C-alpha cells in the first residue's frame, strides 16, 4: 500500500518551510532603523564585531578608572597627593610640574586640609614657608594665592618662589 500525503500535511510542511526560510531572510535584513533605541544589550553583540569606527564619538558612557597612587602618595581629593612638597619654584613652574604629572595645584580648601595633616610634609619642613594653590584672588588684579601651614595667605604669589603639592589623577 502506498502512503499518500493529505492536503493538510502538505500545507503544514509548506508552512514550516516558509516560516523557517523567512526567519533566515529576516535575520540578514534587519537594519538600525528597525531597532528601537536602547534595546540592544552587550549579550546581543558577538565579541570583536564592533570597532571604534562603528561608535559615534562621545556616545559611550565614561567610567572612572580606579588607579593606585604611586609610592610616596596618598589617595585624597579624588586623586593622589605626594607626601612631600616640591619646590621652591615659580607659580608657572608649579603649574607645569602638576600638568606633567597629569594633575593640578590644590584648591585653597585642599591646601588647608593638607596643612592640617602632619603626614604631608610642608614646604621644606619650615612651617612659615608658603605653598601655592590653584586659586586666585577674588578681585582685580586676579593673582594666585599661597598659604603657610598656619593658614596665613599670600595674595600675590605670582612673582615668588614657593613650594607646592599636586593633586594627580
Record the pTM: 0.61
Does residue 120 contact residue 83 with C-beta atoms inside 8 Å? yes
pLDDT at position 59 over 80: no
pLDDT of residue 155: 94
Q: What is the pLDDT of residues 88-110, one digit of tens each?
A: 999 999 999 999 999 999 999 99
Phi, psi of 157 (to 5 degrees): -90, 5
| Residue count (the chain) | 169
Give percent of the chain above pLDDT 70: 82
In the CATH hierarchy, which fold is given to the domain comprising 63-168?
Mannose-Binding Protein A; Chain A (3.10.100)
- Structure confidence at residue 110 (pLDDT): 97
What is the domain partition of the chain in residue ranges? Answer: 63-168
Which regions of the chain does DSSP assign to beta strands (E)? 73-76, 79-82, 86-89, 103-104, 130-136, 144-148, 153-154, 162-164, 167-168
Contact 145, 153 (CB under 8 A): yes
Amino acid at each position: 500500500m502506498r502512503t499518500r500525503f493529505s492536503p493538510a500535511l502538505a500545507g503544514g510542511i509548506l508552512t514550516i518551510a516558509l516560516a523557517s526560510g523567512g526567519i533566515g531572510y529576516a535575520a540578514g535584513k534587519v537594519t538600525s532603523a528597525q531597532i528601537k533605541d536602547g534595546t540592544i544589550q552587550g549579550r546581543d553583540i558577538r565579541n570583536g564585531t564592533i570597532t571604534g569606527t562603528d561608535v559615534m564619538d562621545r556616545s559611550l558612557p565614561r567610567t572612572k578608572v580606579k588607579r593606585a597612587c604611586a609610592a610616596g602618595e596618598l589617595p585624597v581629593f579624588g586623586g593622589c597627593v605626594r607626601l612631600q612638597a616640591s619646590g621652591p619654584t615659580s607659580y608657572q613652574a608649579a603649574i607645569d610640574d602638576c600638568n606633567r604629572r597629569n594633575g593640578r595645584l590644590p584648591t585653597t580648601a585642599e591646601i588647608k586640609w593638607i596643612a592640617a595633616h602632619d603626614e604631608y610634609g610642608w614646604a621644606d619642613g619650615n612651617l612659615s614657608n608658603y605653598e601655592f594653590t590653584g586659586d586666585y584672588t577674588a578681585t582685580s588684579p586676579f593673582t594666585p594665592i599661597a598659604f603657610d601651614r598656619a593658614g596665613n595667605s599670600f595674595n600675590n604669589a605670582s612673582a615668588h618662589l614657593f613650594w607646592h603639592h599636586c593633586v594627580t589623577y
